[in-house]
Copies of this chain bind each other. A is one copy, B any other.
Amino acid sequence: MKALNAMLYCSVFAISLLLAGCTRPPEVVDGATVSRPEFSLTTSEAYDLEAIPAYADNHAAVYEYIDENLDAHLAAIQRWLRQPSISAQNIGIADMAGMLRDDLANLGFAEAELVPTDGHPGVWGYYDAGAPKTLVVYLMYDVQPVNPDDWDSPPFEANLVDHELGRVLMARGATNQKGPQRAFLNALDSIIAVEGNLPVNIMVAAEGEEELGSPHYYQIIQRYKDRLMNADAALFPFNSQRPDGAISVILGVKGILYVEMSSTGGGWGGPANAEIHGSYKAIVDSPVWRLIKALDSLTSPDGNTVLVPGYYDGIIPPTEEESLLINAGIEQRNDVQQQELLGVSRWIDDKLGNDAVIELLYQPTLNIDGIWAGYTGEGVKTILPHTAAAKVDSRLPPGLDPDEALRKIRAFLDDNGFDDIEIKKLGGYPASQTSVSEAEVQAALSVFRKYASSVVVQPRIAGSAPFYQFTEVLGLPLVPAGLGFGTGAHAPNEIMLIEPKAGVGVAGLADIEKAYVDFVYALVE
């Protein structure tokens, strides 16, 4: 979905919650009691991250190469950032796709080619190291639109700018995702320059439509599926550090179903063609009321429990591993701070701490992203609108498939006489989950333990991303991770920290690249 990165960026805070508890009253629907399931952790033990040894190997020659070539590496990132690639406006897309392809070829990728899709082209790359293991790297070369007037430094000049954390690159795509992606390629370049080869084969499966919701990424995956399935792991190079230097590793995302629900006048009643004078309400049904009644039927009076029968049936409760990880993150949580950041006075049902985390990560949602009908301007206009619509999304934990969720919602509306309500699916995909026990995850954690002040592993975030393409379709573990800090994705003044001030615990560009070097080696060690 479009919000992929926004979701990931938000995730850093999502686990910052404190412990408490409460109960919730059940709702009665059609004579049956409906309530959200009460999930609980299987253990009070915590995952012992200290038991993972910090990565100990030293690739001194490669590190030295990085230090010596840091200006050129920065320039490579700037070259990418100075090439606009706004997918929504089709600005610079072909040039950026070509630049990525050429960069892969120059790095020594035996295969480096554009991949036609029904939308913007993908880029495929294969670096044959003759190694026993293969890493798939997910890249996105597109960025969000900009309003240059809102920027302190022009969004496609990629200037180095002073920031409270140090020197930062300011540009559209600085952190989402050109910065960390090109840093990863810089790391590969350094290994090849020093060692003559990589320790793993690399498959790059890049798209230029991530900011559009990845509508054709499946075409890229399908084209190389037989080869991708034989890989060992997938990586999404990602600035995962917080300003305090702590690193947050995300092992899972919720899926999502996104629909537009609407009511329009017709056989059931209501004006079919155009708004009519509001005074007719006395004898004419209202599509706005109709939509409100249909929406209302879907949730409990507080709007927080989904009343669609069976909606909660298949959800997989916290596993032992997830329970351990949630307990391990408890010290990082601060409900009050998190609520202040969001401008929220309380969590639903006044839950706190692990209880709130469990709700956040294991409950499916039914959220209204937008609703509209009729006159919404200033003052007074008296009309009976002929149509009303709402954008509705449901976040789906593992065990609730988007198509199944849609079928259940449709059936529930039909069973309650709302068969005239239209539901248009705008998008959807299932959840994704990778186990902390995967060798790739252990490798990443050992590297992060070497560089970061503290490491938190989130078994899942409440947001969504189409990682199922790797974990479910290809059966690969996936980690979106890396050192580094950035902010401002989808906003003005997007930055990536390049050169931290003394005392700042976040990695600069050199350490970001060194950690990627270590990660690539750790995968095979």
- Residues on A lying within 8 angstroms of B by beta carbon are 1-3, 6-7, 10, 14, 212-213, 254, 256, 258, 265-267, 269-274, 276-286, 288-290, 292-293, 295-296, 299, 301-304, 342-348, 351, 356, 359-361, 363, 365-376, 379-386, 388, 391, 393, 395, 426-427, 461-464
Instruction: Give Cα A3–Cα B280 distance, bound, in whole angstroms.
Output: 13
**A17 to B, closest residue via Cβ:** B283
Chain B nearest Cβ from A22, distance in angstroms: 12
* Complex contacts, A391 vs chain B, CB 8 Å: 374-376, 380-381
Chain B nearest Cβ from A315, distance in angstroms: 12
User: Given known contacts A303-B286, A368-B374, A382-B7, is B279 in contact with A462 (CB within 8 Å)?
Assistant: yes
Q: Which of A6, A269, A282, A383 has the most chain B CB atoms closer than 10 A to its own CB? A: A282
* Complex contacts, A351 vs chain B, CB 8 Å: 283
* Complex contacts, A267 vs chain B, CB 8 Å: 345
Besides the contacts A278-B395, A292-B303, A382-B464, what 11 more A-B pairs have beta carbons closer than 8 Å?
A2-B382, A3-B277, A265-B343, A272-B343, A282-B462, A283-B348, A284-B344, A285-B303, A286-B367, A296-B296, A380-B393
Whether B382 lies near A283 (C-beta < 8 A) is no
Whether A282 lies near B365 (C-beta < 8 A) is yes
* Complex contacts, A348 vs chain B, CB 8 Å: 269, 282-285
Whether B380 lies near A342 (C-beta < 8 A) is no
* Complex contacts, A302 vs chain B, CB 8 Å: 285, 289, 293
**A283 to B, closest residue via Cβ:** B347
Whether B369 lies near A374 (C-beta < 8 A) is yes
* Complex contacts, A381 vs chain B, CB 8 Å: 2-3, 369-370, 391
Whether B345 lies near A395 (C-beta < 8 A) is no
* Complex contacts, A359 vs chain B, CB 8 Å: 282-283
* Complex contacts, A288 vs chain B, CB 8 Å: 368, 371
Chain B nearest Cβ from A76, distance in angstroms: 32
Whether B372 lies near A342 (C-beta < 8 A) is no
Instruction: Give Cα A304–Cα B359 distance, bound, in whole angstroms.
Output: 37
User: Given known contacts A1-B380, A382-B3, is B367 in contact with A278 (CB within 8 Å)?
Assistant: yes
* Complex contacts, A395 vs chain B, CB 8 Å: 278-279, 281-282
User: Given known contacts A266-B345, A380-B1, is B289 in contact with A292 (CB within 8 Å)?
Assistant: no
Whether A271 lies near B344 (C-beta < 8 A) is yes
User: Given known contacts A348-B285, A391-B374, is B342 in contact with A279 (CB within 8 Å)?
Assistant: no
